[in-house]
């Protein structure tokens, strides 16, 4: 009876250990994938910000050029 309880406990501990090891191996690449996605998102945001900034500067340059031509002409 005592041996049966010890055997059940040992079996339960082995199963729990195996489950914990299996779960830890499943999450191995998750950090790398998350970091890659974060880098891609930041890169797309950077491109969008650059395009918006470039558009604003081009419009401002055209406005300045127009004003200078009106004043000088």
Q: Which residue has the tokens 């005592």?
A: 2
Query: Measured between alpha carbons, how far is residue 5 from residues 1, 37, 49, 69 in Å?
Result: 6, 49, 66, 96
> Kind and range of the H or E element at 38?
helix 30-72
By residue range, what is the domain housing residue 12?
2-72
Q: Give the global pTM.
A: 0.51
pLDDT band at residue 1 under the 50/70/90 scheme:
low
Model pLDDT for residues 12-62, shown as the tens digit of each residue: 777 777 666 666 566 667 788 889 999 999 999 999 999 999 999 999 998
- As given in the structure block, the two tokens for residue 71 are 């004043």
pLDDT at residue 14, as a whole number: 79
Quick one: pLDDT at residue 35? 92
Q: For the chain, what is the domain count?
A: 1
């Amino acid at each position: 009876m005592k041996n049966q309880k010890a055997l059940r406990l040992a079996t339960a501990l082995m199963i729990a250990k195996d489950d914990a090891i299996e779960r830890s191996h499943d999450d191995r690449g998750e950090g790398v994938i998350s970091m890659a996605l974060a880098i891609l998102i930041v890169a797309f945001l950077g491109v969008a910000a650059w395009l918006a900034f470039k558009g604003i500067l081009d419009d401002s340059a055209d406005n300045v050029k127009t004003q200078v031509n009106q004043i000088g002409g």
